[in-house]
Amino acid sequence: MFNILLLEPIHAAGMRVLQEAGHVRLAADTDEATILREVGDIDGLVIRSRGRITRAVLAAAPRLKVVGRHGVGVDNVDVAAATEYGIQVVNTPQAVVEAVAEHTIGLMLAASKKIVTFHEHLRQGDFHVRYCVTGRELRGRTLGIIGMGNIGRRVAQICRLAFDMPILYSDVRRAADVEEALGARPTSLDELLAASDYVTVHVPLLPETRHLIGAREFSLMRRDAFFFNLARGEVVDEQALYEALRDGRIAGAGIDVFEQEPTPADSPLLKLDNIVFTPHAATTTEESLRDMSLVALDVVRVLRGEPPVYPVNRLCV
């Protein structure tokens, strides 16, 4: 039987898979010192958003064969070090697509329709706010998608087919299938920012995407444009976003991810009324949590000497 360590609890569907394959235990905490104490006899490890699998952790786990990322982004796993140690990293790239895409549309609608503003005023008994605040429709507005991966494609599909939105996109790779099916047009990041009514970010956190969007990029956007980040907080310079919103250089924003999580209670973003935010919760649906937990299937495949379906790194064999 294999020893498998979870850094956080997972959905029962994935838990059953792991329990059938070995002894499963939950880490006492997700700080590095605790993980270092607990990985010495571990064969497989599953990490969610809390904690980091560092080179030091990998070095302290001589039996470790596989790290399963419950989700898509692997910025909290030292993949290069794992590869050096011959440790397979796997993730669930398809599990979150629908949840994040729908959440993106939800934030777009909430920001455009002033739903949170109406909600808060009505809670205070102000029904007449309907005469003072005006929203707008998505229909026919230009959508700019930064990162045309699985999530970006689904957002494009929904917005094009449901709201008749022209699609611009910026990506290091062409998405010919999306161009053909939806009429999406590839463009430079600067042109996308200048031409779009709505800009949404769906790129992984990499050295080259850290602070991809900053003061210069916000200065290129239209004053009536909305900005959305459902990728990673560090992709956006949060201070620059705050200043753009505070000064009215963009109309509004919808944010699910932050540079520091949990978000500090004194974050200036929380004091603005032209932003809608959620606490890194886009993937928190019953379906997505179940499907992400099934990274367990690849964890067990690797432990049994079988090739994984969703490898993140390639190992020399």
147: left (phi > 0), else alpha (psi -120 to 50), else beta? left
Residues 159 and 184 sit within 8 Å (Cβ to Cβ)? no
* Active-site residue, selected from the candidate residues 69, 103, 202, 280: 280
pLDDT in tens, 47-70: 999 999 999 999 999 999 999 999
Quickly tell me which residue has 């294999």 as its tokens: 2
What pLDDT was estimated at residue 316? 74
Assess contact for 146 and 204: CB atoms under 8 A: no
Q: Which of 11, 103, 232, 301 is catalytic?
A: 232
308: Cβ contacts below 8 Å, ≥ 6 apart: 66, 88, 90, 298, 301, 302
pTM comes to 0.92
Contact between 114 and 85 (Cβ < 8 Å): no
Per-residue pLDDT at 317 exceeds 90 = no
pLDDT at 246: 98
Identify the pLDDT of residue 271: 95
In what side-by-side order are the strands of the sheet with 252-255?
185-186, 167-170, 143-146, 198-201, 226-229, 252-255, 275-277
Over the stretch 271-312, which tens digit does the pLDDT of each residue have? 999 999 999 999 999 999 999 999 999 999 999 999 999 999
Query: Span 178-196, mean pLDDT?
Result: 98
pLDDT tens digit sequence for 212-267: 999 999 999 999 999 999 999 999 999 999 999 999 999 999 999 999 999 999 99
Average pLDDT of the residues in 41-49 = 97
- CA of residue 19 relative to chain centroid, distance: 28
Give yes or no for a contact between 149 and 175, defined as CB atoms under 8 angstroms apart.
no
Select which of 137, 261, 287, 306 is catalytic: 261
131-174: pLDDT as tens digits? 999 999 999 999 999 999 999 999 999 999 999 999 999 999 99
Q: What mean pLDDT do residues 105-127 have?
A: 97
Which one-letter amino acid corresponds to residue 165?
A: M
Distance CA 226, CA 111 (A): 8
Mean pLDDT (whole number) for 197-220: 97
- Asked if 232 is an active-site residue, the reply is yes
Handedness of CA 183, 184, 188, 189 (dihedral sign): positive
Question: Alpha helices of the chain — where are they, by DSSP H?
Answer: 12-21, 32-38, 55-59, 79-84, 97-113, 115-123, 150-163, 176-182, 189-195, 215-220, 238-246, 286-293, 295-303
Residue 66's φ and ψ, nearest 5 degrees, are -155, 140
